[in-house]
Amino acid sequence: MRVLLLSAYEAVSHRYWANSLMAEVNEVDWTLLSLPPRYFSWRIRGNPLSWWLKEYERLNQPYDVVLATSMVDIATLVGLFPHLGRARKIVYFHENQFAYPESSEQMPQVEAKMVNLYAALAADVLVFNTAYNRDSFFDGARRFLKKMPE
């Protein structure tokens, strides 16, 4: 089985998770694409473009599963690489943007929340590392959508 593992913001905990998973599940042919943990606002929206520019050939390979962290804009990525839509898409929520407290001193992270929401809608399977993470995602998404004009 060929699995494309995507990590759009490879902070230490994300790297540890990916490396541990690949070491434990060794009967899989893994392809890991990751991006450095910097420029958060750009990274969460721009990851499909970054990979399109740098990893075009590897993204055009056939995969059975696409396993992405929740910071991957998988909806856009599937739009750029439509064949990835035929693979089973799993989104792993190590954290979610709805659980981050908003400060009156900074702009709300609407884009980041939308990426999480679209990723969840584009996925075949959602995996959360904790019940709190799962519950805060769904509760936060409901509250967020109630604020939208339509």
User: Which domains are present in the chain?
Assistant: 2-147 (3.40.50)
Higher pLDDT, 73 or 148: 73
User: What is the residue whose two structure tokens read 């970054």?
Assistant: 50
pLDDT in tens, 132-149: 999 999 999 999 999 988
- Contacting residues for 135 by C-beta, under 8 A, at least 6 apart: none
pLDDT grade for 39, boundaries at 50, 70 and 90: very high
pLDDT grade for 50, boundaries at 50, 70 and 90: very high
Give the pLDDT confidence score for residue 150 in this predicted structure: 86
Angle, helices 40-54/110-122, rounded to nearest 10 degrees: 50
> Whole-model pTM?
0.92
* Residues 140, 112: Cα–Cα separation, whole Å: 13
**Dihedral over alpha carbons 33, 87, 39, 18 (to 10 degrees):** -50
SS3 of residue 28 by DSSP: coil
pLDDT in tens, 78-118: 999 999 999 999 999 999 998 877 766 655 678 999 999 99
